[in-house]
Amino acid sequence: MTPREASEKSEAICRLAPVIPVLVVHDPAHARPLAEALVCGGLPALEVTLRTPAALEVIAEMAQVEGGTVGAGTLLSPEDVSRAIDAGARFGVSPGVTDRLLDAAEAADLPMLPGIATAGEAMRLLDRGYTVAKFFPAEANGGASALKAIGAPLPRIRFCPTGGVSLKNAPDYLGLSNTLCVGGSWVAPKDRVEAGDWDAIADLAREAARLPA
């Protein structure tokens, strides 16, 4: 997969809904009902972060949910890419960028949302042929105003800002011409997941899905 093809596929995934849920799931038993609730609420693209021992099993369970597109987040190495694909991930997300990571994703035909925080990092992605990236950590790096400033000289690259994004500030990002969607964890609060309150999570997903993209 070329960087251009990867970016085209990543953009299509980002355009599925205004929000990609960022999920840290500890119990595989929660995987399928959580994915079903989010998809039912209108958020079909799901990022499962590789931050728990259960993450790969969670991806495998969520990959079986009809209507969902499950990706793996916190990819740091070629080995992470291989494990994510074996589990059923259809896209990858990383907090930063290395050539080894992108080489592995391209060789494995895994669309990526590679993370960047500066204009220089965005320019290096553009040099490689990528036109879609993750802006991370969004709020810590200046929020929507910083992303708008990056977009002025670099209009070819578009973003999914993640990190500190909430229902309250998501519209600030989504109103920017260089934002495709946002990533956020607020649609799957830990207490609601642990309680198995899937109706409440579906309601949060519906609220997020109504955000203007």
* Chain centre distance of CA 209: 15
* DSSP letters spanning 128-153: HT--EEEETTTTTTTHHHHHHHHHTT
Q: Copy the structure tokens of residue 25.
A: 């799931």
pLDDT at 138: 98
pLDDT digits 0-9 by tens, 26-58: 999 999 999 999 999 999 999 999 999 999 999
Q: How confident is the model at residue 213 (pLDDT cuts 50, 70, 90)?
A: confident
Q: What pTM, to 2 d.p., does this model score? A: 0.97
Q: Which residues are 159's β-sheet partners?
A: 133, 179
Q: Which residues are 69's β-sheet partners?
A: 45
Q: Copy the structure tokens of residue 85.
A: 């694909």
User: Can you say whether the dihedral through the CA atoms of 14, 15, 18, 21 is positive or negative?
Assistant: negative
CB 113 within 8 A of CB 134: yes
CB 202 within 8 A of CB 44: no
DSSP 69: E
Query: Would you please indicate which residues are annotated as catalytic (active-site) residues?
Result: 47, 134
pLDDT at 193: 97
Provide the strand spans (E) within the chain: 19-23, 45-49, 69-73, 91-93, 112-113, 115-116, 132-135, 158-161, 182-184
